[in-house]
Structure 1
Amino acid sequence: MKRVFKGSNVIQPVLIIAMFLFTIFQCKGQQLKPAASGYAPVNGIKVYYEVYGEGKPIVLLHGAFYTIELNWAQLIPELSKTRKVIALEMQGHGHTPYSDRKLDIATLASDVEGVMDFLKIDSADVAGYSMGGSIAYQFAVKSPKRVKKLVIISSTYKTNGWLPVVNGGFKGFKPEFFDNTPLKTAYDAVAPDKTKWRKFIEQMIVFAGVPFDVGDANIAKIASPVLLISGDNDGLDKVELAKTYQLLGGGVAADLAPMPKSHLAIVPAQSHVGLMQQTKTILDLLNGFLQ
C-alpha cells in the first residue's frame, strides 16, 4: 500500500478515509434494492440510474471516482421513505461505461437533464456532493426550470472556491496511484468493462486539472433556494463560500431584514470525505430544508 500514498498530501487522506468508508459500506451498506434501474441514452453515451421510493423527486449527483453506493448508501434508505430518489452515475463511473467523450461540467450537467427527460421528470430537487455539486450548480444555471431546490455538499462552482492545496492535489499524480484502493474495488464490482479503469483515471486526472467557473453573475441569478453544506476543514475556501452565500442572498442581518430562502450549514470537525459519514446531520439538514 505504500505506493498508493505517494504524490499528493490532499489525495493521501482522501484514500485513507475512503478505505474506512468502504469498510462501513460493506458492513452496513445500502441493503435497499432499487425499484427501477437502467441506462438512459443521452448525448452519445448511456448513463446509469437507480430509482428508489415514491413521492417528490430528488436527484442525487455523486462525487468524483465514486459510485452511487459509495456516496449515498447511508442516505438513500432514509430519503426514499418519503421521496422518489433518482441516483445517477456519471460518465465512466460505476455502471456507466467509459467513453472517450471529453469530460466537462457543462456536458455532465446536460447528461443530468437528459436522464430526467428519459424518466419524464419535469423538475426535481437536486443534491450534489463534491464534483456532483459543481455539476448541480451548472445544471441550475443552464436549466433553472428543472430545479426546485438545490443542495450543494462540500463543493463549489469555480476552481478558486477550493483552497490552493486542493487545486494542486493532482499535479504529478499518476493513474497507478489509485490501484489497490477501495475506489478501484468499488469500480470493479459494477463497471461494465473493468479494463477501462486506467483510461477512466487518466481522463479524470485531466478533468480535475482544467479550471472551471460557472460565473458569479450566473450564481446570483439562481432563483431556486440553495442549501450549502460544508465541513469546517473540507478544503473549501471559506471566504469564497461566504461570498457564494451572499450571491445567493444570504449573509444578512435577519433581525433587520427577511430571512434568506437559501441556507448555509458548516459542520464542525469535518473533512471533505468525512462529511459524508455524518448521515444524521446531513439528513436532518436536508429534511429541514427540503420540507
Structure 2
Amino acid sequence: MSAASISQAQELKPAESGYAPANGTTVYYEVYGAGKPVVLIHGAYYTIGMNWGQLIPELAKTRKVIALELQGHGHTPYSDRKLSRVTLASDVEQVMDHLKIDNADIVGYSFGGQVAYQFAIQSAERLNKLVIISSVHKSAGWVSEITDVFKKMKPEHFANSPLQAAYEAVAPDKTKWNPFVEQMIASAGEPFDLGDDNIAKITAPVLIISGDNDGMDKIELAKTYKLLGGGVAAGLHPMPKSQLAIIPNQGHVSLMQTKEIFGYIDSFL
C-alpha cells in the first residue's frame, strides 16, 4: 500500500459500526453514506481500510456502503469454526439481516470475490448485481505460480508485515494472529471449485475486473465470462448483461489502487 492509501484508510469514519451475530460468532461491519446498499467483501488478511480506503469515500457519495471484516480479520474475532466459503457467504447474509437489508449489490476482492461468488450461488434472491475484482471461482482460475505459492506459505512469511501491523491495530485479541494466519494458509492450500454449472446459473449481472498481470489465468477468465453469458459477437447478438474489464499494467495488489476501478464499478452499478 502507498502512504497515501494508508492515510486514506486511517481517515475513514463510518456513520455506524458494530458487530452482527453470525453462525455462532460475530462479524464486524461499518456503514457509510446513504442510498441503495452495496456490500464490500475484502481480500485475505486485509482490513476494511486497507482494502477499500480509496473506494469507500467515492461510493458513499451516492450509496449506502456496508463494509465487513470476515472471520478472524481486523475487528472480527478469531474463531475455531471451519473456514468455509459457504459459511462466510452466510455470514454476509447475516450481516444484511442484522442491518435489515433485503438485497444489495455485492463487491468482492480476491478471497472476498470467492465469498461473493458463493453468496451469488446460495443467496441469489438477496443479490442485485455482483462485482468480482481479481478473483476466481476455482483454484484452476489462478496461474500455476500462484497455487504453488499457496502450497509453500508459512506464518513466518507474514511476520512484521503491513498486514500484521493492520491486524494488531484493530484486532480484539492480538494473540490470535498466528492461529488466524495458520487457518488462512490451510484454507489457501486446499483446492476448491464452486462449480461451472453454479456460475452459469447466476442470473444477476456480473462485472469481472482483472489486472492484466494479477495472477489470474486469462484463458480460464474468458471461460468464466462465457459462463456468465459474455464473449458474444455483439451486433450479431444482444449485448450481454455481464461485463469484463481487464486493466492494463496492473498486478494483484496495484489493481486496487487504480483510479479506473471506481469508474468501472460506478458505471456498472
Superposition TM-score, scaled by structure 2 size: 0.98
AA of the residue aligned to 1:289: F
Shift of residue 198, structure 1, vs aligned partner: 0.5
Separation in 2 of the partners of 1:284 and 1:168? 33
Q: Which of 112, 123, 129 is 1:132 aligned to?
A: 112
The alignment status of 1:116 with 2:105, answered yes or no, reads no
Structure 2 unaligned regions, length at least 5:
none
Shift of residue 27, structure 1, vs aligned partner: 3.2
Separation in 2 of the partners of 1:242 and 1:30? 37
Q: Which of 211, 215, 229 is 2:195 aligned to?
A: 215
**SS in structure 1 at match of 2:81:** coil
Separation in 1 of the partners of 2:42 and 2:194? 19
- Equivalent residue number for residue 248 of structure 2: 268
Shift of residue 174, structure 1, vs aligned partner: 1.7
Separation in 2 of the partners of 1:283 and 1:93? 24
Does the 8 A contact of 1:22 with 1:182 survive in 2?
Answer: no
Shift of residue 255, structure 1, vs aligned partner: 1.3
Matches within 5 A, 1:82-161: 82-161=62-141
**SS in structure 2 at match of 1:98:** coil
Separation in 2 of the partners of 1:172 and 1:179? 15
**SS in structure 1 at match of 2:150:** coil
Deviations 1:123-173 (A, max 9, x none): 000000000000000000101011100000000111111111101112232
- Equivalent residue number for residue 177 of structure 2: 197
The alignment status of 1:257 with 2:240, answered yes or no, reads no
Separation in 2 of the partners of 1:243 and 1:56? 31
Does the 8 A contact of 2:109 with 2:135 survive in 1?
Answer: yes
Separation in 2 of the partners of 1:71 and 1:223? 27
AA of the residue aligned to 2:264: L
**SS in structure 2 at match of 1:272:** coil
Does the 8 A contact of 2:78 with 2:180 survive in 1?
Answer: yes
Q: Which of 145, 149, 157 is 1:177 aligned to?
A: 157
Deviations 1:240-270 (A, max 9, x none): 1000000000000001110000000000000
Separation in 1 of the partners of 2:36 and 2:202? 21
Does the 8 A contact of 2:6 with 2:53 survive in 1?
Answer: no
Superposition TM-score, scaled by structure 1 size: 0.91
Separation in 1 of the partners of 2:239 and 2:154? 47
Separation in 1 of the partners of 2:225 and 2:105? 19
Deviations 1:180-211 (A, max 9, x none): 11000000100000000011000000010111
**SS in structure 2 at match of 1:27:** helix
AA of the residue aligned to 1:190: V
Separation in 1 of the partners of 2:42 and 2:82? 19
Deviations 1:52-71 (A, max 9, x none): 00000000000000000000
Q: Which of 27, 45, 55 is 1:75 aligned to?
A: 55
Does the 8 A contact of 2:12 with 2:49 survive in 1?
Answer: no
Shift of residue 22, structure 1, vs aligned partner: 5.3
Cα 1:22–1:199 change in 2 (3 A) is: farther
**SS in structure 1 at match of 2:78:** coil
- Equivalent residue number for residue 46 of structure 2: 66
Separation in 1 of the partners of 2:153 and 2:18? 33
Separation in 1 of the partners of 2:2 and 2:176? 21
* Fraction of identical pairs, as percent: 67
AA of the residue aligned to 2:43: G
Structure 1 unaligned regions, length at least 5:
1-20
Shift of residue 30, structure 1, vs aligned partner: 4.9
Shift of residue 212, structure 1, vs aligned partner: 1.1
Cα RMSD after superposing both structures: 0.9
Does the 8 A contact of 2:6 with 2:50 survive in 1?
Answer: no
The alignment status of 1:286 with 2:265, answered yes or no, reads yes
Does the 8 A contact of 2:199 with 2:228 survive in 1?
Answer: yes
Separation in 2 of the partners of 1:26 and 1:288? 26
In the alignment of these two chains, the number of paired residues is 269
